[in-house]
Structure 1
Amino acid sequence: MITPEIAKHAQGLLDFIDTSPSPWHAVAMMEKQLQEKGFTRLEESQAWHVQPLGRHYVIRGGSSLIAFVLGRKPLAESGFRIVGAHTDSPGLRLKPRAPHQADTMMRLAVEVYGGPILATFSDRDLSLAGRVCVRSDAAVESCLIRFEQPLVRLANLAIHMNRSVNEDGLKFNRQNELPLLLSGLCDAESPEQKFLRLVADKAGCRPSDILSWDLNVYDTQKGSFWGPELEFIADSQLDNLTSCYAGLVALLETETSENTCVGAFFDHEEIGSESNRGAMGSFISDVLERVAYAIDTDTPGYKQALARSFMISADAAHAYHPNFPNAYEPLHRIAINGGPVIKVNANQRYATDSMSEARFIELCRQANVPYQKYAHRTDLACGSTIGPMTAARLGIPTADVGCPLWAMHSIRESAGVLDQASLLNVLKKFFAEPAVQSM
């Protein structure tokens, strides 16, 4: 049953997504909510001074964030409780020299980021958001920008010139057919001058001060509820802002715990996580180690804490679609609104093993939350998550879980309202659980 509280949480998720059209915006929104709840920011370039039961966060690269609440028990006796997720989603990014002329039109050159379903970007009301680096008197500064109105379009080719599109599928040549239409050329400005002026007006600077950008293509259509009972939601970036939002809210609602509770939100998962702020980089280990040393835990104590730690890698899961039954493992068909999904893969594409699976099942039982188990078809390549790489880097047992989705990596994904509240409740239970022995 969808109660007002459950619907409110789902609406909060949609609002979070709609104000986070890029990973940099997502982190900015998380920072705003953390500060409102009394979290203070720590800088990696400075010494860390933390108080007992302190609430702090660290940002790296503007698009990855780790927040933590210090526990009541000594770290070596309790360890870390970590929820990990990722802030990025697959899509299109502007190239450094994006604006150019194509006959009588001005276009923007794009590069494919990750593995989006490209056909879903066509004929949508698209716009641009991200960060711009500008020259200032003191140094280079970055600012977030967002064009809220539809600005660009990936217009489709008429069926009269592509008669087999419904049989062969809609396909785009990534180099020649993905550049976005921006405007006609009707004045003396060059494409580069016109685009720089647009960006400068939004950034509040002079065009000559713009040095570089990270600009994301996003869908301006807001998230919505759908279905006869409004039991479903649709929006962009459900993979994986559903998990970011659940992890953030669970941490915000954690007043005190025996354990040190951590929310780790990484950029670059969709392209392999191998970056200075990705889950394969040093960010998570750097932060955990500095937390330990800031509260006077020595190196053996830190290693002891890791041995008592546990991580939930929260990422979207594949929901069963009745129109495509042959795409799924017959005995692992996941239902929307059937509860969080435990993802298992014998080749460690997911980090779950029998012990971490059992522990998550017990958390679900304690939270009175249903759960499901997913395995990929054996004859299809299985995706992965931040779970295996963080488990390997830290040596921490990990469960890979997440909310089920339809149309994963589409520009418009769908999920269940009940699942969002269920994931939140089990994550809250995870942060609040008593300290346990190492597994």
Structure 2
Amino acid sequence: MTHSPTNQRLADFIQASPTPFHATQHMVESLLAAGFEHLDERADWQLKPDGRYLVTRNGSSLIAFTLGKPETGIRLVGAHTDSPCLRVKPQPELNQQGLWQLGVEVYGGVLLAPWFDRDLSLAGRVTFRNRDGDLQSRLIDFRRPIATIPSLAIHLNRGVNDNLAINAQTDLPPVLAHSQEPTQDLRELLRSQLEKEHPDCGLEQVLDYELSFYDTQPPSTLGLDGDFFSSARLDNLLSCHAGLAALINSGAGQPCMLVCTDHEEVGSSSTCGADGPFLEDVLKRVIPDNSARIRTIQRSVLISADNAHAVHPNFADRHDGNHGPRLNAGPVIKINSNQRYATNSETSSFFRELCVQADVPVQSFVVRSDMGCGSTIGPITASRLGVRTVDIGVPTFAMHSIREMAGSRDTEYLIRVLTQFYNTERLV
């Protein structure tokens, strides 16, 4: 079924973003086309009051902002660029039973079973020495299916439908080819791909890489009436895309900031994660005076946008009976008294008012009292900065699967309310 214009743009973004590096690169290109200026953290910044700027760190995290009058309070939207996946190990080559495979490491809380019998490709960042002796990095994306993880036939595992136990070390290495003599070398394969995608890079030797397998199946709008949107990496590229679209669509009269950081799925503790100093470093350069910066942060609000759990019709008992978010019923306010989410009554009320102003439905989510609760960048950023925060997200099925599903109308809802937020004159 044909995508709506909004979902087509989301599908294009996801297709162009198989890794956090690609997602960040795509956002940079979109922002530059919209008139934003790319800042370098290693250079001095000369910021103008009416300026529109972006800065990246590690090539996988991005902060974009419009200055306006920051002392009135900054409208921040936070999301994350990474998704659970299978990452290639440093020395991954395996030759077993005449087949060439690559050893992988599980990144984040992956729902492993759906990775079997998929058409997989490979993408990421490769670092190499060029002919001048300099170290450089480039992004690559094989795009076409080059691997799969075949299931074991039910005839050889009769109890598989009763209790599937997946060993991450032995069961997950994807198959890429028949073994050849001499034995295949991943770095030689990467050399060929680099020379294909970047013929002018002056490559001499591939040194290291950060590579992820991903599903090549494109996003789809599905359902008898086109009610659903299915894709890889909806958690959390959907929120990155919505925040990007809202920032570009906003009137730019208010001080606004989009913060898309890497490594949320593994705790955010890194130089470019939400638990690192990236956002604080940028804020210190935007507002150098300590007292003025604290006053500004206390006037600011962060909307932490990360997907929420929709109530599954086959497993409705996994939700609190009064808090079962539904697809296509608008963004979800996420609440947890143990601070796994940073929402409080003031920030949730503020978000509800934004939804009214944007003519967007809104829902709420609280995890069952006898179940553990996930978390987001919201509490991390709130605790580091002291900024008032509301945790929200689009409801989805199959979170952390290789393919997730959202309502086909919810992305538009999220873009509308985030645009309203960026344009609002009064913060809570």
TM-score scaled to structure 1, two decimals? 0.94
Q: Residue 363 of structure 2 is aligned with which of 349, 358, 372?
A: 372
Equivalent residue, structure 1, for 2:22: 25
2: distance between equivalents of 1:277 and 1:124?
Answer: 31
Equivalent residue, structure 2, for 1:226: 222
Measured against aligned partners, the alpha-carbon deviations of 1:414-435 in whole angstroms (never above 9, x if no partner) come to 0011110110000000000114
1: distance between equivalents of 2:202 and 2:177?
Answer: 21
Equivalent residue, structure 2, for 1:164: 159
Equivalent residue, structure 2, for 1:401: 392
Task: Establish whether residue 343 from structure 1 lines up as the match of residue 334 from structure 2.
Answer: yes
Equivalent residue, structure 2, for 1:434: 425
Number of residue equivalences:
421
Equivalent residue, structure 2, for 1:357: 348
TM-superposed deviation, 1:191: 2.6
Correspondences of 1:152-301 after superposition (within 5 Å) = 152-169=147-164, 171-186=165-180, 188-192=181-185, 195-204=186-195, 209-257=205-253, 259-293=254-288, 298-301=289-292
TM-superposed deviation, 1:207: 8.1
Contact 1:108 1:179 in 2 (8 A): yes
Higher mean Cα deviation, 129-138 or 235-244?
129-138
Contact 1:145 1:203 in 2 (8 A): yes
| Helix, strand or coil at the partner of 2:340 | coil
TM-superposed deviation, 1:264: 0.2
1: distance between equivalents of 2:49 and 2:301?
Answer: 21
Equivalent residue, structure 2, for 1:63: 60
Equivalent residue, structure 1, for 2:36: 39
1: distance between equivalents of 2:122 and 2:252?
Answer: 40
2: distance between equivalents of 1:397 and 1:138?
Answer: 48
Measured against aligned partners, the alpha-carbon deviations of 1:250-271 in whole angstroms (never above 9, x if no partner) come to 01112322x3100000000000
TM-superposed deviation, 1:399: 0.3
1: distance between equivalents of 2:97 and 2:316?
Answer: 45
TM-superposed deviation, 1:138: 5.1
Task: Establish whether residue 54 from structure 1 lines up as the match of residue 42 from structure 2.
Answer: no
Contact 2:24 2:62 in 1 (8 A): yes
TM-superposed deviation, 1:196: 2.1
| Helix, strand or coil at the partner of 1:410 | coil
AA of the residue aligned to 2:281: D
Equivalent residue, structure 2, for 1:410: 401
Q: Residue 110 of structure 1 is aligned with which of 104, 110, 118?
A: 104
TM-superposed deviation, 1:139: 2.0
Q: Residue 77 of structure 2 is aligned with which of 61, 83, 90?
A: 83
TM-superposed deviation, 1:108: 0.0
1: distance between equivalents of 2:391 and 2:379?
Answer: 9
TM-superposed deviation, 1:208: 5.7
TM-score scaled to structure 2, two decimals? 0.96
1: distance between equivalents of 2:343 and 2:423?
Answer: 21
AA of the residue aligned to 2:33: E
Equivalent residue, structure 1, for 2:317: 326
Contact 1:93 1:112 in 2 (8 A): yes
Consecutive unaligned residues in structure 1, runs of 5 or more: none
AA of the residue aligned to 2:7: A
Measured against aligned partners, the alpha-carbon deviations of 1:196-250 in whole angstroms (never above 9, x if no partner) come to 2221111117886101000011000100000111121100000000100000010
| Helix, strand or coil at the partner of 1:167 | coil
2: distance between equivalents of 1:207 and 1:36?
Answer: 30
Contact 1:199 1:207 in 2 (8 A): no
Contact 2:128 2:203 in 1 (8 A): no
Q: Residue 13 of structure 2 is aligned with which of 9, 13, 16?
A: 16
Measured against aligned partners, the alpha-carbon deviations of 1:363-416 in whole angstroms (never above 9, x if no partner) come to 111111100000011111110000000000010010000100000001010001
Extract structure 1 runs of 4+ deviating beyond 6 A.
none
1: distance between equivalents of 2:33 and 2:52?
Answer: 12
Equivalent residue, structure 2, for 1:388: 379
Equivalent residue, structure 2, for 1:94: 88
Contact 2:73 2:296 in 1 (8 A): yes
1: distance between equivalents of 2:360 and 2:251?
Answer: 22
